[in-house]
Structures are given as C-alpha cells and as structure tokens.
Amino acid sequence: MKVETLQNEIRKLLREKNAVLIVHYYERPEIQQIADILGDSLALSIEAARTKAEVIVFAGVHFMAESAALVSPEKTVLLPRLDAGCPLAEMITPEQLAQARKEHPQAAVVAYVNSTAAIKAASDICCTSANAVKIVNSLTEYNEVLMVPDGNLARHTAGFTDKKIIPWTGYCPVHHFLTPEEVERAKALHPGAPFAAHPECRMEVLAMADYVGSTAGIIRFAATSPSQKIILGTEEGVIVTLKRESPDKTFIPASGKLICRTMKLTTLEDVRDSLREMKNVIRVPEEIRIPAKRAVDRMLALS
C-alpha cells in the first residue's frame, strides 16, 4: 500500500476515534509527517497531559507510552509496537535503585524520563535532557543527587551545579558509542561546521561540541546558527524536522550509526492496526502510577 494511502487512512481513523497521534523526533519520517504532536521527551510529556483526545497513539518507545498513561489515566494509550523498548531504560531495575538508595541515604533521586514507570515511582522527581540542570538545582534541601539511569547526562549536569552528582552506569547506546574520532573525521570533512551534541553523549564528545542540548534545543540552535552546515551528535531522525525548519541548511550526522533501532521498528501499518483494532493498550498499575505521576508532576511544575 502506498505511503500516502496509509497516512490518509490513519488520519481518518484518528478523527473517527477522537484520537491524537503523538510522535517522537526519532520515529520514521513518514510517521513524523502525520503527527498531531511531534517533539522530544519534555514536549511530549507536557502535551500528553494537555490533550483532550480520548485516545493517545504514541509512536515512540515503551517508557514514553507509559508516561502518557501516567499523566492521563482516563485516556486509552496505544503503543503501536509492544517490542519498541529502550535499552537505556532497561539498564536499571527497582531492586537496584532500592539498593542505591540504601548506599546513598542522603541523596535525592532524579530519574530521567527515559526510564520505566517503576523507576519513576521510586524516584523523587523526573527530569529531561532539557531541564536536568534546572531540576537538580531546584532540590535546595539536598546536597547529593543520584541521577538515573543515564550516566552521561548526570556527568554533564554535574558541571552546572555545586551538588554532588552520583551518576548511574546506564547509557543510551545510540549516543554513548559516538566517538571523538568520528567527530574529528566529520569536522575534517566539513571545516567550520559547528557540532551540536546531545548530553547523552560521552563527556569527551561533549567537550568537542559547539552546542550541547536536548533534541528541541539542537533544533533551535540549528535554526539560529549562521552556518549552512551543522554536524549532529544525536539520532538522525531529527533531520526531518531540521530540514523542515531550515530547508536551506545541510545536516551531517557525525556517525552513520546514530540510529535508534527500536524507534524505527514502528511502521505506518503498525500505527493503523493499533488504532483500528484498539490494541496494545498501555496500562500502569495504580500502586506504581500514583507515585510515578507525582515525580513527573513535580518536574512539569518546574518546566
């Protein structure tokens, strides 16, 4: 079936079912094109809470759909692919976090939104890559902060606070395995082009960046940069939005491996089928949802 035909079928189903299609920047281009709401983790968390639709179709990974279910328990949340997980979110368990709390009893726990509902429930507050520094510095009653599960984001945040930051050992494989050598090669091939990197990258890569920020931040940087070429240290799916916002500019991934395989699992057919059959409903048990929502709400109140 043609892409446009599938897209039209999905849009028709969305209208019929009073549904909204929420899509992350890393999804396939043909899905991004028909999104009602397109964004990064922070924007999608906010919009999931605001939407008046009865059904949320979340084209993303599992923790994102969980987050929508946390803030909108009265809505039906659909995840087109149940096997679309997040390796980073899977790098910590509630049992491991409980043990870490025992080892650091004076520390607040800040959970990156790229985490499961169970981890959010066991945390004091959530953060995104866009607001991590603000969230950490808002915890005035704490001198120590345990940041989970992304160690790179934690180490980056540590440079902007006087608090002792305790990083977890997790990482996003897409960003973590970008190497300084790859960035050097890209810079050599495109002299003068600024390098914009996501804080999930390693510190030695971030040290080479002209800009470090969230996906949305990188989009803003690209739009305002006078440069006609920009080297990217983040998942290549964001180029869809970058080209739309700045069609006269060229965007170069710093590596050919900046691809999130699980984000790319979801197809138009998956979106259509989940909506047509109302399948793959994501629910969070109340004993997890309530404390997890509290951690998310604390973040949103500061965003």
The mean per-residue pLDDT over the stretch 25-45 comes to: 90
Is residue 44 over pLDDT 90? no
pLDDT digits (tens, 9 = 90+) for 152-187: 999 999 999 999 999 999 999 999 999 999 999 999
* Residue 51 pLDDT: 86
pLDDT score for 38: 94
- pLDDT of 220 reads 94
Q: Does pLDDT of 41 surpass 80? A: no
Q: What is the pLDDT of residue 105?
A: 97
Residue 8 DSSP label: H
SS3 278: coil
The domains located in the chain, with CATH, are 3-84+263-283 (3.40.50.10800), 89-171+290-301 (3.40.50.10800), 178-253 (3.40.50.10800)
pLDDT tier for residue 245 given thresholds of 50, 70 and 90? very high
Strand partners, 145: 108, 165
Are 78 and 282 in contact by the 8 Å Cβ rule? The answer is yes
Q: Do 68 and 54 contact (CB within 8 A), yes or no?
A: no
Predicted pLDDT at 49: 79
Mean pLDDT of the chain: 95
Residue 1, pLDDT above cutoff 80: no
Q: What angle do CA 155, 158, 160 make, to 5 degrees?
A: 135
Q: What is the pLDDT of residue 112?
A: 97
- For the segment 15-34, the average pLDDT, to the nearest whole number, is 96
% of residues, the chain, pLDDT over 90: 93
What is the predicted pLDDT for the residue at 71? 87
What value does the CA radius of gyration of the chain take, rounded to a whole number of Å?
19
Q: Is residue 267 very low, low, confident or very high in pLDDT (cuts 50, 70, 90)?
A: very high
Which tens digit of pLDDT belongs to each residue from 60-82?
Answer: 999 999 999 998 899 999 999 99
Kindly indicate the confidence band of residue 281, based on its pLDDT and cuts at 50, 70 and 90: very high
Binning pLDDT at 50, 70 and 90, where does residue 268 land?
very high
